[in-house]
């Protein structure tokens, strides 16, 4: 009986050490903390190794620094739970995953993008789906390649970023107002990291 109770206590405190958090709670933990989060993935390999996920409270980025391909089979719409260590990469809060995720279900609906103006893109929206209506690209009519592209909306300006091997490379940049959907992200060398906010479109549907 004593051995049984000891085993139960070990399991309890082991689970407590890696207690599951809402994403908003996980984002408040110090860098280097081990967190376990659950949410719905909002991108696939069109953005490379990185995956973004959201729950009802916030979003966060997942990244695999290893050669184990922990995220290789993670797709948009997957509901999953994963554990890793909080880290900062050029202003973007990430979970450096330490194992394969538990995938609960696939083909789930994505969170509804938050409609906003460019100036509202920031820490409060980081790693979440956002939507800018009536966005106009400065370089409309030319072709997308790797890099950042400026747009305006309501007298404000913003940026999107297109990475290498992105499905939109080589396509014509829209001319005239569009609804722009993507993942709110950040890339900056500034300290403190209060700039470098950008939107990552996933494909032509965005």
Same fold, 2-105 and 114-200: yes
Q: Check whether 49 has a pLDDT greater than 70.
A: yes
For residues 21 and 31, the model is more confident at 31
Confidence of residue 21 (pLDDT cuts 50, 70, 90): confident
For residues 183 and 1, the model is more confident at 183
Give me the mean pLDDT over the 173-189 stretch.
97
Q: Check whether 15 has a pLDDT greater than 90.
A: no
**Nearest residue to 186 via CA among 50, 74, 76, 55:** 50
Give me the mean pLDDT over the 67-90 stretch.
98
In this predicted structure, what is the pLDDT of residue 18? Answer: 56
**Cα–Cα dist 164/143, whole Å:** 14
Dihedral angle, C-alpha 87, 69, 45, 108, nearest 10 °: -90
Give me the mean pLDDT over the 35-56 stretch.
98
In this predicted structure, what is the pLDDT of residue 206? Answer: 87
**Cα–Cα dist 5/3, whole Å:** 5
In this predicted structure, what is the pLDDT of residue 77? Answer: 98
Confidence of residue 150 (pLDDT cuts 50, 70, 90): very high
Query: Long-range contact list for 79-82, CB < 8 A, 24+ apart?
Result: 79/38, 79/39, 79/40, 79/41, 79/103, 79/104, 79/105, 79/106, 79/108, 80/38, 80/39, 80/41, 80/53, 80/104, 81/20, 81/36, 81/37, 81/38, 82/36, 82/37
In this predicted structure, what is the pLDDT of residue 27? Answer: 98
Instruction: Using a cut of 0.75, tell me whether the model's pTM lies above it.
Output: yes
* Domain 2-105 CATH class label: mainly beta
Give me the mean pLDDT over the 102-112 stretch.
96
Residue pLDDT, tens place only, 114-131: 999 999 999 999 999 999
CB 37 within 8 A of CB 20: yes
Which residue in the block uniquely carries the two structure tokens 């939107």? 199
Q: Check whether 12 has a pLDDT greater than 70.
A: no
Domain assignments of the chain as residue spans, ordered by start:
2-105, 114-200
In this predicted structure, what is the pLDDT of residue 11? Answer: 37
Least confident segment among 17-21, 67-71, 189-193 = 17-21
Question: Which CATH architecture fits 114-200?
Answer: Beta Barrel (2.40)
Q: Check whether 2 has a pLDDT greater than 60.
A: no
In this predicted structure, what is the pLDDT of residue 5? Answer: 39
């Amino acid at each position: 009986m004593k051995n049984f109770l000891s085993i139960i206590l070990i399991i309890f405190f082991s689970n407590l050490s890696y207690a599951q958090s809402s994403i908003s709670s996980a984002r408040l933990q110090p860098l280097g903390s081990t967190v376990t989060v659950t949410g719905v993935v909002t991108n696939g390999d069109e953005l490379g190794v990185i995956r973004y996920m959201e729950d009802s409270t916030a979003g966060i980025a997942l990244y695999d620094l290893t050669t184990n391909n922990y995220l290789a089979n993670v797709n948009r719409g997957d509901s999953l739970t994963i554990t890793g260590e909080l880290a900062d990469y050029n202003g973007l809060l990430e979970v450096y995953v330490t194992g394969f995720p538990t995938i609960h279900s696939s083909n789930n609906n994505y969170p509804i993008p938050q409609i906003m103006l460019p100036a509202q893109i920031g820490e409060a929206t980081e790693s979440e789906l956002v939507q800018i209506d009536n966005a106009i690209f400065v370089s409309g009519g030319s072709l997308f390649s790797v890099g950042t592209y400026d747009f305006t909306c309501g007298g404000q300006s913003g940026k999107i970023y297109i990475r290498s091997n992105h499905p939109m490379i080589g396509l014509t940049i829209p001319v005239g107002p569009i609804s722009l959907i993507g993942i709110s992200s950040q890339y900056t060398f500034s300290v403190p990291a209060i700039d470098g906010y950008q939107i990552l479109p996933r494909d032509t549907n965005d």
